[in-house]
Amino acid sequence: MPHPLTDDLETLARPVVEAAHLTVQSVEVLAHRLPLTVVVRVQRADGSDVNLDECAAVSGPLAEALEASELLTMAYVLEVSSPGIGEELLTDRDFVSFRGFPVELIRQEAGGAEVRRTGLLLGRDDQVVQLNERGRIVRIPREEVRRVRLTEAPPDS
């Protein structure tokens, strides 16, 4: 469940990030960390990754905007990063951009059991998410998919 301030933080971050000619891919509040951590993932408008200098250029103005907003009254750490390995795929653009990449998919079956699958991402439409599992195309009903994230290594052959 997202943190209650996630939407407000994303609304605050969007114009600051866009001023640097980038887009907000996601905002995540990691409340289980001490201090609380706000992770803002940015990318170029074409969906490509940003470099360290671009993240640093956004970090300062975003930190100032956060302080001025007084949304966070407790101690926090701000992380500005690029989406990458280990990141969850959320948008249609993510599923297009990372086609052919190795992913882990978590599926919840009708009985409530969670099943993990790994494979190369083939795509997603309104009905299914498609993976290539060791040369076999697997179609998983989209309503059963709980999470899809990038992984570092291709699945075992």
pTM of the shown model:
0.57
Say what the pLDDT of residue 108 is: 86
Q: Is the pLDDT of residue 155 over 60?
A: no
| Mean pLDDT in residue range 94-98 | 85
Which of 1-24 are b and which e, b meaning 16 or more Cβ less than 10 Å from the residue's Cβ? eeeebeeebbebbeebbeebebbb
Whether 105 and 145 have beta carbons less than 8 Å apart is answered as yes
> Is residue 154 scored above 80 in pLDDT?
no
Q: Are residues 52 and 104 in the same domain?
A: no
State both tokens at 112. Answer: 């409530």
pLDDT band at 157 (very low <50, low <70, confident <90, very high): very low
Establish if 156 belongs to a structural domain: no
For the cut 80, the answer to whether the pLDDT of residue 85 exceeds it is no
Sign of the dihedral defined by the CA atoms of residues 101, 104, 42, 35, in that order: negative
pLDDT digit string (tens) for 32-84? 878 888 989 998 888 777 887 888 889 999 999 999 999 999 999 998 988 76
Express the helix, strand and coil content of the chain in percent, nearest 5 each.
Answer: 25, 40, 35
In one-letter notation, the amino acid at residue 44 is R
Residues 59 and 110 in one domain: no
**pLDDT value of residue 10:** 95
Q: Count of CB atoms within 10 A of residue 102's CB? A: 18
Whether residue 87 is contained in a domain is answered as no
Q: Which of 57, 81, 105 is where one domain is finished?
A: 81
Mark which of 21, 56, 81 sits at the end of a domain. Answer: 81
**Contact of 135 with 69, CB cutoff 8 Å:** no
Lowest-confidence segment of 86-90, 110-114, 139-143, 148-152 by average pLDDT: 86-90
The residue length of the chain stands at: 157
Looking at residue 19, its pLDDT comes to 94
Among 81, 110, 127, give the residue marking a domain's end: 81
**Is residue 132 scored above 70 in pLDDT?**
yes
d(CA 91, CA 138): 20
Tell me the residue range of the domain where 106 lies: 92-150
Instruction: Provide the domain count of the chain.
Output: 2
Residue 130's pLDDT band, with cuts at 50, 70 and 90, is very high
